[in-house]
Amino acid sequence: MSTLNRRDFLKLLTGGLLTLSGMLGLGAILRFLSYTPETVRRSQFDLGPADRYPLGSRTLIASIPALLIHDETGFRALSLVCTHLGCTVETAEGGFACPCHGSRFDPSGQVTRGPAGAPLAWLRVEVNEAGNVIIYPEE
């Protein structure tokens, strides 16, 4: 049986430590690349009493983002998320405009100029027993 001299021992120890640190680093990189965050989306937004929104009003709800419309037929909500790439559209002359790629929508959410291929989505709105307006965002 041959004896292990100091130089061979240090070489073996250095190689082992480098291999171990490389494997730990590779494990950390793989864990980082495979990370998927848990996104918790709210299932409903309570906007408060319905009498806050008079008949004929159009109220911007920035937290969703949506436009709450109160007309003769009741409450409706139009999503302000562009159907092209998910940017938030802004009010513009004659409807809405997407600041990202220039899509245009009329006041009812229909596409008037692309690249968006689908109209803005209508969201479900209810008035609960307490008289509060509830918006259910898109799933």
Rounded-to-integer distance, Cα 87 and Cα 29, Å = 31
Domain coverage including residue 29? 1-35
The reply to whether 63 falls in a domain is yes
Print pLDDT tens along the chain (139 aa): 578 888 989 999 999 999 999 999 999 999 988 888 777 666 888 888 888 888 888 888 888 889 998 888 889 999 999 888 888 898 888 889 999 888 999 988 899 987 888 899 999 898 888 888 888 887 5
72 and 126 both lie in a single domain = yes
31 and 49 both lie in a single domain = no
The reply to whether 40 falls in a domain is no
Is residue 69 within 8 A of residue 76, CB to CB? The reply is yes
* Domain tally, the chain: 2
6 and 53 both lie in a single domain = no
The reply to whether 9 falls in a domain is yes
83 and 19 both lie in a single domain = no
Q: What is the pTM of this model?
A: 0.65
118 and 56 both lie in a single domain = yes
Helices (H), 4-117: 6-33
30 and 67 both lie in a single domain = no
125 and 60 both lie in a single domain = yes
Q: What is the CATH number of the domain that holds 112?
A: 2.102.10.10
Q: What pLDDT score does 40 carry?
A: 67
